[in-house]
Amino acid sequence: MIPPGIEGNLKHVLSGGIGSEWMPFEKKKDFTNAFIIHNGRILLGFKKRGFGKDKYNGFGGKVEEGETSLQAAVRELEEEAGITAPLEHAGTLLFLSEGIDVAFEIEIYRAEEYTGTVAETDEMRPEWFHLPSNTSSGPADWSSIPFDQMWDTDRYWLPYLVSKTKFAGRADFRQEGDVWTLHKWWFGVTDV
Ligand SMILES: CNc1ncnc2c1ncn2[C@@H]1O[C@H](COP(=O)(O)OP(=O)(O)OP(=O)(O)O)[C@@H](O)[C@H]1O
């Protein structure tokens, strides 16, 4: 069953967790997250401050008033990595945590080209990571991607981002201090 808060013609791909109930939420807040995939590598940023500090992630932030999600994604990529890219929508993640009364609706974007020079900013230290090569036989090798230093759910949806398969999912976390524990999750891909 598709969890409350996500929509679309979705085919279930993976889910799990210990909780039987999804956390309730009152409203959603819009965020963006953008990734560059270029020459067999993906650009991640090590977040130096604020929310998600000390984790690798794409580049993004809050959608400001009067902005579309895409405009916000382009702006945040420019602010945090110094580059401009023709971003395309790749998926949606609804993220909840106990103790935060709003659900984060994160629109995730991708691009395979960019203009400008990737640069470190106050917020992010960009770094390129090798993706599994699609010429190799056997299971894809994701060992270059620093999943242990990313949000726990990134390992579930990053392969869909890379393969350009539209996805949507929900992840409910629990938080104690700086430690976030994944409690319940569900991911689907758009049935086309
Ligand atoms: C499982 N949970 C999650 N999984 C993957 N990514 C997640 C996430 N939860 C938040 N994110 C991302 O973390 C950034 C926070 O943005 P954040 O720095 O707070 O926003 P913004 O730059 O507007 O803030 P300031 O203006 O500096 O306050 C933003 O990219 C958002 O998409």
Band the pLDDT of 134: cuts 50, 70, 90.
Answer: confident
pLDDT in tens, 102-115: 999 999 999 999 99
Q: Is the pLDDT of residue 161 over 90?
A: yes
Q: Is the pLDDT of residue 135 over 80?
A: no
- pLDDT value at residue 192: 60
Band the pLDDT of 1: cuts 50, 70, 90.
Answer: confident
- pLDDT value at residue 101: 86
Residue nearest to atom 28 of ligand 1 (CA): 50
d(CA 35, CA 33): 7
**Measuring from each residue's beta carbon to the nearest atom of ligand 1, which residues come in under 6 Å?**
31-33, 50-52, 57, 60-62, 93, 95, 104, 106, 151, 153, 171
Q: What mean pLDDT comes out for the span 128-140?
A: 85
d(CA 21, CA 30): 23
Instruction: Name residues whose C-beta falls within 8 Å of residue 7's C-beta, 6 or more positions apart in sequence.
Output: 168
- pLDDT value at residue 41: 97
* ipTM of model: 0.95
pLDDT in tens, 26-80: 999 999 999 999 999 999 999 999 999 999 999 999 999 999 999 999 999 999 9
Q: What is the mean pLDDT of the chain?
A: 94
Please give the distance, rounded to the nearest whole angstrom, from the Cα atom of residue 191 to the centre of ligand 1: 28
Query: Which domains, from first to last, does the chain contain?
Result: 28-190 (3.90.79.10)
The partner residues of 116 in beta bridges, in order of sequence, read 83
- pLDDT value at residue 136: 65
Q: Is the pLDDT of residue 191 over 70?
A: no
Residue nearest to atom 2 of ligand 1 (CA): 95
